Structure 1
Amino acid sequence: MDDKLLIDILKNQVTKALGCTEPGAVGYAVARAKEILGSEVKKINIEVDKNILKNGMSVGIPGTNERGIIFAVALALVVGKSAYMLEVLKDVDDKSIKRALEIMDSNIITLNLNEWMQGLYIKVEAIGDTDKSTVIIKNSHTNIIHESKNDEILLNETTSVSNNFNEEKSKPTSNEIKYEIKECSIEDLIDFANNVSIEDIAFIQDGINMNIRIANVGLSEQIGLGIGKYLKNKATDVFSMAKAYTAAASEARMSGYLLPVMSSAGSGNHGLVAIIPISYIGKEKNISDEKIIRAVTLSHLVTIFVKVRLGALSPICGCGVAAGVGCSAGLTYLLGGNKEQIKGSINNMVAGITGMLCDGAKIGCSYKLSISVDAAVDSSKMALENIFIPDDNGILDSTPEKTIINLAQVSNVGMMSTDSTILEIMLNKC
């Protein structure tokens, strides 16, 4: 695979996001449907898969004290611009919040669960006095596959999905270029991180700056539960401080702080795990900026590599088994590990943290991120000492690539009913 394709994958998958990406993706679809309709929306119907519903139920909406998908929909009707994509709600202010609350009270928004749809799915129908528009997102947060107004089809990109782990079979659209990474090996990704021109990946620094900025906010302001501050006060070394920084950033983000983060593989929290520990540890250890950028690049690529197998959303916590795996590989690279140690750190990580469930996006995710960073650090340190969990253990296999495929089979086949069970518990509490 040539460097240009991997650079394109990075640019497609490492993007700015404001707030949680699930309500953000719904808001993006709503904004686009509103624009296509071109008149006042009198009724709006939203249909989502169980993972979107699960992740959007309890999370804070940026710049507000409100939570959940329905408020995000109402706010998108007021200020949403599809050109902003996952920053769709960034023009929020007090006036728009008041108007969004009025829209919620008018009961024009209907939110329904599509119980049968596998993988990420959002369908929006915006209805005016005489017209109707429809927008459908599938497989990733900004991948619009259908747009229509009344009976006129404006966009229709059909996809075919394999029964084998819900993997994409058809040729990816421009928005789905991520699937091309399946043709790579982990060694290919390491070679890319080593050899790509630093100018071609200089944009990775923007994400480092962005995510460290929100981490500093989480540690300096009174936000959330104080998990990041607690971890900082208990920190004894650079590694535990990196854990505190990552947790604090997630706390600020999940609370709805009005700052964007750089996401990875469709998730802002994945971006925090993939970036912050490596960049913080690298800076504190006086490692060169170039080495840090290359290590973060590898972290992103491994995260994407795992996520294309798992799917955009999954019953297991991607911050651990995707971004955490990427972080472990990136840390091992940063600290001078060779290819075998980097690959070994991936197996170590999967051996340890595979079972952490995703029970929706919420402020408590900041603790899960801290656990993921802790595990990534230990997995990397063990690998650097040539301690590798053997491949006859559990779902581990002879290569990290095979291990990741096994992990995907457990998540996508073995845990098919897990999300439904989690969602049922969450809905029954409401």
Structure 2
Amino acid sequence: MFVENPESFSNYTAILQEELVPAMGCTEPIAIAYAAAKAKELLGEEPLHITVDCSGNIIKNVKGVTVPNSGGQKGIKVAATLGITGGQADKKLEVISAADDSARARCRELVNAGFCEVNFAEDVPNLYIAAKVRGSAHTAEVVIAEHHTNIVRMARDGVTVFEQANAAAYPENAALSSADRSKMTLRGLLDYAARVDLSEVSELLERQIRYNRAISQEGLDNGWGARIGKTMLESWGSDVKTRAIAWAAAGSDARMSGCALPVVINSGSGNQGITVTLPVLVYAEEFQVSKQKLYRALLVSNLVSIYIKHFIGPLSAFCGAVSAACGAGAAITYMAGGDEKRIACTITNTLGNVGGIVCDGAKPSCAAKIASSVHAAILAYQMSMRDQQFQPGEGIVEEDVEETIRNIGYIGKVGMKPTDHEILNVMIDKVDVNACV
């Protein structure tokens, strides 16, 4: 039997501690609000104006979602301005959780008055936000890159006061660097999930269960978004497969339409956090597994998702619901008694089926993409338990699941980069699609 060394176990635990954090609403507008709140804090006075420079992927993922706790307002200007009027920078991805009616009203007033200017930043990382504020006496700038709370530069009155190269002076702003995702392997993470002392991770997992189940229930109870979860249960019945898909979709229904409940994220995404959690909870109840078995299954789900997404990067044209659904399918296979071979088969079957779903920004239809991805993952699990697998040489599928994962990583990070660019052009009306017909 393959056995990981203690240092490797510590690395997996550190990865989980970095990844499984609470976030309120879609993480891209929240990251903008965080940058704005941090810039205001650095400015030291009330801002008179803010300019936000964003990468295309940030623009894409903020355009169609309601900013949580904003009273139904949408867009980059709202996210940045609410970060100014009601943000608390120390809360990071829950930065606007305490925004009140006064902050929301002031946000609406400032946005209408032209307080915020937005620019498209080119030749920057896929995840990039620069928030520049001007007051009566000072200016300040905060730049975030690569990760949603990863501040790489801060400047006041044009003088740099923090750069990531000198992060020791500001450890709270340092990049996510204590864990090494490049050392992950499927076999290693499965060994970790099977043998780690659960006391090291139970608090993280309980919070994930509690938060993500709550927003899913909210999506089922009320008319959020496109009502994908509710529609499925009303139309397809309530067997275990439908419940697993619908519960995941319902969480996204609520989250994408401005629900203020927090989500424990995965790979920087609340939708991915929901997807790795809810199907596993549904099948754990169906299989009547112990709490310990559920915890270990959630470790499988979270780590498989993080592992696959590591090769793709934080934002791309590749829909992250697919990598998260791979994690959920792997965990369901694990709870059903599947060994490493069958878990690998589940991942391969999922990627061979829905690996081409594109991301055209965060919005209510993300719930439907989650539904499609989880459906594919459940089919993949059912195939794997019957020893049925897509074969090497069929499309992107390789003999070794690790190579298949790397193939999808290359496609998502490199191959789909031009697609990502053109999706953005369509979304911001920079192309005449009729001229291409």
TM-superposition CA deviations, 1:58-101 (whole Å, max 9, x none): 10111321111211111111111111111111012222111000
Alpha-carbon contact 1:215-1:245 (below 8 Å) kept? yes
The answer as to 2:111 corresponding to 1:104 is yes
The aligned counterpart of 2:376 is: 375
Deviation at 1:347, TM superposition (A): 1.0
The aligned counterpart of 2:298 is: 296
Q: In structure 1, what is the Cα distance between the partners aligned to 2:229 and 2:212?
A: 14
1:306-317 correspondence runs (5 A): 306-317=308-319
The answer as to 2:55 corresponding to 1:53 is no
1:129-208 correspondence runs (5 A): 129-158=136-165, 175-177=175-177, 180-202=180-202, 203-208=204-209
Q: In structure 1, what is the Cα distance between the partners aligned to 2:165 and 2:218?
A: 42
The aligned counterpart of 1:116 is: 123
TM-superposition CA deviations, 1:357-404 (whole Å, max 9, x none): 100000111111111111111111111221111121111222222112
1:239-258 correspondence runs (5 A): 239-258=241-260
Name which of 20, 26, 31 aligns with 2:32. Answer: 26
Structure 1 residue runs without a partner (length 5+): 160-172
TM-superposition CA deviations, 1:231-286 (whole Å, max 9, x none): 11223411111111111111011110110111101000000101110012102321
Q: In structure 2, what is the Cα distance between the partners aligned to 1:429 and 1:247?
A: 31
TM-superposition CA deviations, 1:306-358 (whole Å, max 9, x none): 122101001010111x2112112121112211011111111111101111010
Q: In structure 1, what is the Cα distance between the partners aligned to 2:306 and 2:25?
A: 20
- Whichever residue aligns with residue 369 of structure 1, its letter is I
Q: In structure 1, what is the Cα distance between the partners aligned to 2:90 and 2:397?
A: 42
1:339-418 correspondence runs (5 A): 339-418=340-419
The aligned counterpart of 2:41 is: 35
* Bigger shift: residues 300-309 or 15-24: 300-309
* Bigger shift: residues 26-35 or 115-124: 115-124
The aligned counterpart of 2:21 is: 15
Deviating runs (4+, > 3 A) in structure 1? none
Deviation at 1:178, TM superposition (A): 7.6
The aligned counterpart of 2:265 is: 263
Deviation at 1:174, TM superposition (A): 5.4
Q: In structure 2, what is the Cα distance between the partners aligned to 1:341 and 1:350?
A: 14
Deviation at 1:194, TM superposition (A): 0.2
- Whichever residue aligns with residue 364 of structure 2, its letter is I
The aligned counterpart of 1:281 is: 283
| Cα separation, partners in 2 of 1:330 and 1:382, compared to 1, 3 Å | same
Q: In structure 2, what is the Cα distance between the partners aligned to 1:280 and 1:8?
A: 27
Q: In structure 1, what is the Cα distance between the partners aligned to 2:12 and 2:48?
A: 44
Deviation at 1:108, TM superposition (A): 2.1
Let me know the Cα RMSD of the aligned residues. Answer: 1.7
TM-superposition CA deviations, 1:82-132 (whole Å, max 9, x none): 111111110122221110001101212111111222321111111112211
TM-superposition CA deviations, 1:175-231 (whole Å, max 9, x none): 323861211210000000000011111021210111111111111122223221111
* Bigger shift: residues 258-267 or 92-101: 92-101
TM-score, L = length of structure 2: 0.92
The aligned counterpart of 1:94 is: 101
Q: In structure 2, what is the Cα distance between the partners aligned to 1:6 and 1:276?
A: 22
Alpha-carbon contact 2:61-2:361 (below 8 Å) kept? yes
Q: In structure 2, what is the Cα distance between the partners aligned to 1:158 and 1:339?
A: 41
Q: In structure 2, what is the Cα distance between the partners aligned to 1:429 and 1:244?
A: 36
Structure 2 residue runs without a partner (length 5+): 1-6, 167-172, 432-437
The aligned counterpart of 1:126 is: 133
Name which of 85, 95, 107 aligns with 1:78. Answer: 85
SS in 2 for 1:26: helix
Corresponding pairs, count: 416
Q: In structure 2, what is the Cα distance between the partners aligned to 1:181 and 1:336?
A: 27
- Whichever residue aligns with residue 370 of structure 2, its letter is L
* Bigger shift: residues 396-405 or 253-262: 396-405
Percent identity of paired positions between Structure 1 and Structure 2: 33
* Bigger shift: residues 333-342 or 229-238: 229-238
